[in-house]
A and B are shown apart, each in its own frame.
Chain A
Amino acid sequence: GIQVEQSPPDLILQEGANSTLRCNFSDSVNNLQWFHQNPWGQLINLFYIPSGTKQNGRLSATTVATERYSLLYISSSQTTDSGVYFCAGPTQGGSEKLVFGKGTKLTVNP
């Protein structure tokens, strides 16, 4: 199955700063998703982004499928952005089942 690697593992920011999180995957994927897990454990789907770029408010994501990576951009970070960000891709081919990276833990300080 595919391997999903995320970097950096930890990130500490001051409120208002911008950041870029990276996700590398070992094989081509047709289903790449980004999630945010808040400090209470709830996982929220941020993007389904097999290729191209999407934006949602201060967050945007870009997947370059041919080069097997995806980036999540957070602009003007807020304390509520704190938590763990996960990317996930299908275990193989067109599988519905996702394998998750280990996550990037983001702390935004006031």
Chain B
Amino acid sequence: GAGVSQSPSNKVTEKGKDVELRCDPISGHTALYWYRQSLGQGLEFLIYFQGNSAPDKSGLPSDRFSAERTGGSVSTLTIQRTQQEDSAVYLCASSLAVSGGQETQYFGPGTRLLVL
């Protein structure tokens, strides 16, 4: 079966523009995660969705970042007014329903974002 897919694979944008990153989880996976991978900060957990429930947004780096998940499937991470420090690889992962943290997360190939 298909794995986690992300689009676009690469995105170059100008400082101040808005960008949308998309994640399509594995079919049947109700949990979805976003991470950011940058040279300076390593891998950081951003946000988690369980089904259609409202996510905990406290891990998002700033209020310019937002995420939504429609219909409990596809998720979009939006960065408004991009800054150069937003340049990173944004990884999405999905898993079966979370029950105590044991579920394996399967990752997508990521979106490499470059803000000029």
A and B bind: no
